[in-house]
Structure 1
Amino acid sequence: MVSGPALVHGPASRTDGEALSTLLHLAPWTLLLAFVLSAVLPFAVRPWLTRWGVVDIPTERSSHSRPVLRGMGLAVALSLLATYAAALLLGLIPVDRSIALVVLAMMAGSAGLGWAEDYRGISIGVRLAVQALIGALGTAALVVALGIPAWWWPVGVAATVAYINIANFMDGINGISGLHGGAVGLLYAWAGGVNDMPWLVCAGLALAGAFLGFLPWNLGHGTVFLGDVGSYVLGGSIAATAIGAFLSGVYVEYLLPPLLIYLADTAVTLVLRIRRGEVWYKPHRQHAYQRLTDVGLSHVQSALLVTAATVLVSVISLYGLRANGTGSALAGLAVVLVVVVYLILPVLLARLTGRSRGTAS
């Protein structure tokens, strides 16, 4: 078991029943509000995206074949920020409000950077510098607010930059980011419930609601894309929430498993591309989730598989956290097995079906 630096209790300070009661109490004001806003705001945002010409033109590496409006993540970001700000203003977060404010600011900063990239385009160097600045300022504020050692500061900076880019890399098929935001948000809300942290419950529920509300716009034929504003606010919000929770003492077993499939897919793909001498940051179609579509799965099927693996890894990890000795070790082995199966699944399916990117119809 690995806990954050400010831990003052065990793996869970509340019972499952108490945690569920908190989630059900806060859900109408966070999950539902964010969902409704995210489902409705695109009607207002879409005409502006068309007027501004925020369009994604497909290339040979794209998973779509026709121009599609991108930047609809602006509606998702507004929904998330408005909901979380409302939770603060309405007193749904009675304690640790300074943590919530820092997390909200990091969410807003990530969304702003992503929108600037969608609207005008920004060089890679500037993007990385601003991502690092968001992580640096946010983590520094959390370190001061929580009174913890400053050596956690570079960890927070690195985590922010890493997950913003990981979420961006993994946003390549319809539905995957919406489902990831929904799954991670609900899992983090549960972590907040069992650890008696209303700010974390509200952050998770708002995140889940905002990204699940976008799914009707993006599933199937995918009439609009999140764009960088969507993937940046997804990665930045998850990173900010995870950093705030870990520094507040939440066990890492609650925070890392929901991100493990994304981390593994990105890391393995990155290492293989570097070994082949490819330019690692150039667009490509070599992630496991993309290769799953090459062997016959639809976008929705691939996105659901990624999400199912994420939830499975998280549930197994929560079991391992509460188990002792052999049970905990078996849970760890099961997590590794799920990740490995996910990574090699495209190869296995290709052999079974005889399909690949070059032969798939």
Structure 2
Amino acid sequence: MQTFLLAFVVSVVAALLILRYNHLHGHLTADHDLDGVQKFHPHPVPRVGGVAVMVGILAVGGLVSVLRPEISRQFWLLLMASIPAFMGGLVEDLTKRVGVLTRLGLTMLAAAGGFWLLNAGISRVDIPIIDTALRLWPVALVFTVFAVAGVANAINIIDGYNGLAGVVTVNIFMALGYVSYQVGDAMLWTICLAAAGAILGFLVWNYPRGLIFLGDGGAYLIGFLIGEISVLLVVRHPEVSAWFPFLLVFYPIFETLFSIYRRVLLRNGSPGMPDAVHMHQMIYKRLVRWAVGSRQANDKVWRNAMTSPYLWVLSSLTVIPAVAFWNRPHWLLLFTLLFVASYTWLYRRLVRFRSPRWLMIRYHHDSNRSSSHRIHKKED
């Protein structure tokens, strides 16, 4: 518990200091682009919340070095391996000039570092033919770097609304930590608690008001850690099904794969081209109805925040069964297929303007706001 609390408190304070001294660094750290297709904030906001998350985890590293020296070496090696992924995203947050391919390449470099430093290489996926190929270390290396980079990029993709990526990844870390505890892996559940606490510290300032954003640095750091912990958990403990971490992170993974399908096959475009039709954006447009004039800045902030709980529930459709059946591959596969069906059904309904009525939130406060509600409805 002290691990979790230390990470939480340090992250809260670090984020507070970033906000307090925003006037000194805001010209570099703030997101001034308010008109992009994926922008839903009404004023510039610091996008370096990942720094607070990293500082919180580093504080736990110091505590572990003193109290748990037997696991401190691997703890620090994991953080060392994460540096390329974190720095690539952070430089993008500061300069807005680091492309997606560069960030992915740096995350692959980080995964390769984990492969050599921690033996974090995917050696099985519980599919016989593929498992045979993974016995060759070059195949395992390539498979691992693409898988870890893919998870990191997937976390970055769902980081679109206040509290969305933060709460989803806290749940993922807690699930990974729970199974790590069940199999007696102290290092892994310690890093999971540290990451969860640090992200919650960031969320104090991020949700619901969006005073600070996670940024690419934070998203790639968190995604890399999720990927590496997943690999290590499966490699070290044969009783853990390889389908457990796969189902656990399947919401952001499927969002990424569905985005590639939509952009490349349906629109003949680039897979890296941003658009405004991710699941979280469709929910924002089709489901959330907040009757405060939609032209008011405060309304935009609250509509942003009201979107995330829908996706928290959606992600729970993978997290809960993954934790319940972490050593039962057939059940994990079944729930993976059920999620695909549920996601596809909901997305089709949203695109066709047939949003399920039971999912819609409507607030009617007074007659003076009815015109604002009509404006909001027309805007969507």
Q: Return the TM-score normalized by structure 1.
A: 0.81
Given the superposition, is the C-alpha separation of residues 318 and 167 from structure 1 closer, same or farther in structure 2, using an over 3 Å criterion? Answer: closer
Alignment of 1:298-337 (within 5 A): 298-321=303-326, 329=330, 332-337=333-338
Q: Does 1:351 align with 2:354?
A: yes
For residues 261 and 54 of structure 2, the distance between their equivalents in structure 1, rounded to whole angstroms, comes to 31
2:70 alignment partner, SS class: coil
1:206 maps to what in 2? 194
**SS of equivalent residue, structure 1 residue 221:** coil
Kindly indicate whether the alpha-carbon contact (under 8 Å) linking 1:99 and 1:145 is maintained by their aligned counterparts in 2. Answer: no
Name the residue aligned to 1:170: 158
Give 1:331 shift: 5.9
1:115 aligns with 2:90: yes
Between 328-337 and 30-39, the greater mean CA deviation after superposition: 328-337
Which one is further off, 101-110 or 197-206? 101-110
SS at match of 2:149: helix
Displacement of 1:199? 0.7
What is the CA RMSD across the aligned residues, in angstroms? 2.9
What is the one-letter code of the residue matched to 1:69?
A: P
Counterpart residue identity of residue 43, structure 1: L
Counterpart for residue 102 of structure 2? 126
Q: 1:87 to 1:339 in 2, by over 3 A?
A: farther
User: If you compute each CA radius of gyration, which structure gives the higher value, 1 or 2?
Assistant: 2
Residue 115 of structure 2 is matched in structure 1 by 139
CA 337–206 in structure 1, closer or farther in 2 if over 3 Å, else same: same
**Equivalent pairs, count:** 327
How far apart are the structure 2 equivalents of 1:157 and 1:247? 15
- 1:255 and 2:245 are equivalent in the alignment: yes
TM-score (norm 2): 0.77
Structure 1: 5+ residue stretches without partners:
1-26
- Residue in 2 that maps onto 1:283: 274
2:249 aligned counterpart, secondary structure: helix
Q: Which residues in structure 2 correspond to 1:24-103 (within 5 Å)? A: 27-28=1-2, 30-52=3-25, 53=27, 54-56=29-31, 57-61=33-37, 62-83=39-60, 85-92=61-68, 94-95=70-71, 97-103=72-78
User: How many Å apart are 1:330 and its aligned residue?
Assistant: 5.9
Shift of 1:70: 1.5
- The question of whether the paired residues in 1 share the 8 Å contact of 2:92 and 2:216 is answered with yes
Deviation at 1:282, TM superposition (A): 2.3
Q: 1:196 to 1:73 in 2, by over 3 A?
A: same
- The answer (yes or no) to whether the contact 1:254–1:314 under 8 Å persists in 2 is no
1:322 CA drift (Å) = 5.5
Percentage identity across paired residues of the two chains: 22
Deviations 1:297-337 (A, max 9, x none): 243443223233333323323444566xxxx7566434422
- CA offsets 1:10-53 (integer angstroms, 9 cap, x no match): xxxxxxxxxxxxxxxxx22x211111111121122234544231
Cα deviation for residue 273 of structure 1 reads 0.7
**What corresponds to 2:219 in structure 1?**
231
Per the TM alignment, residue 353 of structure 1 is displaced from its structure 2 partner at its CA by 6.7
Q: Please, which runs of 5 or more residues in structure 2 have no aligned partner?
A: 124-134, 289-302, 361-375
